[in-house]
Amino acid sequence: MKLNDITIKDIAERANVSKSTVSRVLNDLAIVNPKTRKTVLEAAESLGYQANVFARGLASGRSMTVGVVTQKIGSPFYDMMMQGVIQGFTGTGYSPIFVDGQWEQSTELDVIRTLMGRKVDGLILLGGDISQKDLDQLREQIPTVVVGKDVAGWEGQCVYVDNFSGAYDATQHLIEFGHREIAIVRGIIHHQDAIRRFQGYAQALADASIELDPDLVLDGNFTAQSGIIAVNSLLMRGKSFTAVFCANDMVAYGARLALQRKGIRVPEDVSIVGFDDQAESSYVSPPLTTVRQPGVEMGVVAAEGIVQLMQGGTCEFPVMNAELQRRESVARITSQ
């Protein structure tokens, strides 16, 4: 099946040393005579040796893999983080193995169990909904970092963006442009990011002495479809509004479409702001003003951090910040 049946033993014979010596050279964890070392290295090289991961894993207990739990492959923000993770691991000797939690707590626990069964050396959780208890328990068994949310008691060991100030900036931007009737389509109700974003929105309004109007607060679930529904219900109710701040870009797309269907122009009649800055957002019509999350960077940082952790070190992540990308979906309001 595999061409590569050269083992450490073959090298040993070729170099006239014992298996142990070869192993020591290959992992350089003991002093070996430089000359011997060279001979072994050459032998290994010329034979094209590649260690058998099973044997190594069995003997050492380490697998050189880390499990990465994502929530839904194909979801823009999580995909960015995955890219970052891959990037962050290249050259470290560790390989990520990705599994998908499908946004479901039970599935998530399942896949983590599978990962543990596969003896991963570390765990990166991208988002997810596991309970604090399970999380804490997990961390005791295996080096873990969480990306995309902050967990109580894990200060510095979570990579996340400041959703509050991102949302605050976005809302303030709308206010600066003269908007006062600003609707919001929230994300999944118990989702941490969604909550923080709502708080940022609320604070920005408060700071501008604009009363928060409950009728302008709609619930959604991060999908384009939910943006459509939210806008339609807003329209149906006959509520007046000049801008809508969306839970993420997909919701913004939906909102945009729903408005157009009613003959309402964006941004001339209603302005829209999204959150995420997914790849398409620069190219839709009009290009979407949105809050950029540094997804790729977060992935990179997480990968680097877990490597530290697995090597017995510690890691301390800074809070990443989300930056408003001003494009063309927001217009100035002159008079009402």
Residues that bind a copy of itself (CB under 8 A): 1-4, 50-55, 57-58, 61, 63, 65, 72-74, 76, 79-80, 82-83, 86, 95-100, 114, 116-119, 141-142, 224, 228, 250, 253-254, 256-257, 260, 279-280, 282-285, 287
**Cβ proximity to DNA, 32 vs 284, nearer residue:** 32
Tell me which amino acid residue 197 is: R
In 75-216, DSSP assigns E strands to 95-100, 122-126, 144-147, 158-159, 182-186
Any idea of the CA torsion for 53, 59, 64, 66, to the nearest 10 degrees? 110
DSSP code, position 293: P
28: contact with DNA by CB under 7 A: no
208: contact with DNA by CB under 7 A: no
Question: Cβ contacts of residue 80 below 8 Å, gap of 6+?
Answer: 293, 295, 296, 298, 299
Q: Which of 36, 102, 107, 325 binds DNA (CB under 7 A)?
A: 36
Q: Which residue in the block uniquely carries the two structure tokens 């923080």? A: 196
282 binding partner (options DNA, a copy of itself, none; Cβ < 5 to 8 Å by kind)? a copy of itself
Max CA pair span of the chain: 89
Q: Which of 13, 27, 176, 269 binds DNA (CB under 7 A)?
A: 27
* Residue 67 tokens, joined: 């499990």
Q: Which of 1, 31, 152, 236 binds DNA (CB under 7 A)?
A: 31
Q: Which of 13, 18, 153, 332 binds DNA (CB under 7 A)?
A: 18
Q: Which of 1, 3, 29, 236 binds DNA (CB under 7 A)?
A: 29
**Cβ proximity to a copy of itself, 34 vs 74, nearer residue:** 74
- Return the CA Rg of the chain: 26
Of 32-40, 162-170, 200-208, 212-220, the segment contacting DNA by CB under 7 A is 32-40
Give strand pairing partners of 124: 68, 145
- Rounded distance between C-alpha atoms, residue 306 and residue 211, angstroms: 44
Task: Specify burial of residue 35 (Cβ count, 10 A radius: 0-12, 13-18, 19+).
Answer: exposed
Q: Count CA within 13 A, CB hemisphere, residue 237.
A: 15
- Rounded distance between C-alpha atoms, residue 275 and residue 285, angstroms: 16
236 binding partner (options a copy of itself, DNA, none; Cβ < 5 to 8 Å by kind)? none
CB of 118 to DNA, least distance (A): 13
**Cβ proximity to DNA, 29 vs 236, nearer residue:** 29
Binding marks (x or -) toward DNA, 230..269, rule CB under 7 A? ----------------------------------------
- Rounded distance between C-alpha atoms, residue 245 and residue 251, angstroms: 9
113: contact with DNA by CB under 7 A: no
DSSP code, position 216: G
Of 58-66, 221-229, 282-290, 324-332, the segment contacting DNA by CB under 7 A is 58-66
* Residue 136 tokens, joined: 């804490």
Q: Is the peptide bond before 318 cis (omega within 30 degrees of 0)?
A: no
263 binding partner (options DNA, a copy of itself, none; Cβ < 5 to 8 Å by kind)? none
Of 29-37, 69-77, 195-203, 272-280, the segment contacting DNA by CB under 7 A is 29-37
60: contact with DNA by CB under 7 A: yes
* Residue 39 tokens, joined: 């001979």
Give me the residues that bind DNA (CB under 7 A), please.
5-9, 16-21, 23-24, 26-27, 29-37, 49, 51-52, 54-56, 58-60
